[in-house]
């Protein structure tokens, strides 16, 4: 039986909007195994991002528990959560979230700066990561000098540089064309699989969900069904499996 890196128990998130209450996540329980590639699939507004943010320690649940490596992250304060995220998780966002004044290399080194890795070592590691995502020639470019796909490659390099146990990707290809979308999915899943990292992907797109071992269908803040995807889609484009 596979061990679980994440256990979610009876988690609720209620937002108040004036008089109105919105149950964005409505009593979800879920286990995520070490090394699993899983996908939260659902329509816009179904609660996927809220659930992801709860699991990743970016938001607090209204109720329930979120256990990450046996630690209750819903009990942590902001300092503890910041340390937790630095140590255990990486993020890939739809909008890349790169710092515009920094070069690709500097953006990738950021997580290592927070962990106080010496400069020579972090530059070396960041160059290796940029190579792994096929972007070493762009190391000194700023985000505005790169295409959307290239910016997302930088953000993928940044997400993986600390070898985090879990990488969270929220609509990682939402702003990209079809070909680049598959390149990014190939890259993220190949990196995660190679290093036996857990990957949690949020999407509304069934084609992207096909990359996961397990597809968790979310509707109205609840799990509608869980689907095992035994024959998951794998890297087809060379860029995804570059060393």
Cβ-based neighbours of 45, under 8 Å, separated by 6 or more: none
Instruction: Determine how β-strand 198-203 pairs with β-strand 214-219.
Output: unpaired
The reply on whether position 17 binds ligand ADP by CB under 6 A is yes
Opening angle at CA 142, ends 138 and 148, nearest 5: 75
The reply on whether position 152 binds ligand ADP by CB under 6 A is no
Which residues lie across from 200 on neighbouring strands?
38, 168
With CB under 5 A as the contact rule, which of the stretches 17-25, 49-57, 92-100, 120-128 interacts with Mg ion?
49-57
Shorter beta-carbon distance to ligand ADP: residue 35 or 174: 174
51 vs 202: CA distance, rounded Å: 9
Q: Choose the contact partner of 45 out of Mg ion, ligand ADP, none; CB within 5 to 8 A by kind.
A: ligand ADP
With CB under 6 A as the contact rule, which of the stretches 40-48, 60-68, 69-77, 130-138 interacts with ligand ADP?
40-48
Q: Choose the contact partner of 50 out of Mg ion, ligand ADP, none; CB within 5 to 8 A by kind.
A: ligand ADP
The reply on whether position 14 binds ligand ADP by CB under 6 A is no
Shorter beta-carbon distance to Mg ion: residue 38 or 146: 38
Instruction: Output the residue with the shortest Cβ distance to Mg ion.
Output: 49
165 vs 197: CA distance, rounded Å: 5
Select the residue interacting with ligand ADP from 5, 37, 38, 48 (CB under 6 A): 48
Q: Are 12 and 6 within 8 A, CB to CB?
A: no
Q: Choose the contact partner of 47 out of Mg ion, ligand ADP, none; CB within 5 to 8 A by kind.
A: ligand ADP
Select the residue interacting with ligand ADP from 10, 29, 45, 163 (CB under 6 A): 45
Burial of 17 (0-12, 13-18, 19+ CB in 10 A): exposed
Shorter beta-carbon distance to ligand ADP: residue 55 or 132: 55
The reply on whether position 49 binds Mg ion by CB under 5 A is yes
Shorter beta-carbon distance to ligand ADP: residue 47 or 57: 47
Min dist CB 18 to ligand ADP, Å, is 10
Q: Are 167 and 199 within 8 A, CB to CB?
A: yes
The reply on whether position 44 binds ligand ADP by CB under 6 A is yes
The reply on whether position 49 binds ligand ADP by CB under 6 A is yes
Residues that bind Mg ion (CB under 5 A): 49
Residues that bind ligand ADP (CB under 6 A): 15, 17, 22, 24, 42, 44-50
């Amino acid at each position: 039986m596979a061990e679980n890196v994440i256990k979610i128990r009876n988690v609720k998130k209620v937002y108040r909007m004036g008089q109105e209450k919105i149950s964005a996540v409505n009593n979800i329980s879920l286990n995520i195994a070490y090394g699993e590639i899983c996908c939260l699939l659902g329509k816009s507004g179904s609660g996927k991002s809220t659930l992801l943010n709860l699991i990743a320690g970016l938001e607090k649940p209204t109720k329930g528990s979120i256990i990450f490596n046996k630690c209750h992250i819903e009990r942590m304060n902001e300092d503890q959560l910041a340390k937790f995220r630095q140590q255990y998780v990486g993020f890939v966002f739809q909008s890349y979230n790169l710092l515009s004044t920094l070069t690709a290399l500097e953006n990738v080194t950021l997580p290592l700066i927070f962990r106080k890795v010496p400069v020579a070592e972090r530059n070396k590691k960041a160059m290796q990561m940029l190579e792994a995502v096929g972007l070493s020639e762009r190391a000194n470019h700023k985000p505005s000098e790169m295409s959307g796909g290239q910016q997302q490659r930088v953000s993928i390099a940044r997400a993986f540089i600390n070898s985090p146990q879990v990488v969270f990707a929220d609509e990682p290809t939402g702003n990209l064309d079809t070909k680049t979308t598959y390149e990014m999915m190939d890259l993220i899943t190949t990196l995660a699989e190679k290093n036996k990292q857990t990957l949690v992907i949020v999407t509304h797109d069934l084609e992207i969900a096909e990359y996961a071992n397990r597809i968790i269908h979310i509707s109205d803040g609840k799990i509608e069904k869980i689907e095992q995807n035994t024959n998951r889609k794998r890297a087809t484009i060379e860029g995804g499996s570059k060393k």
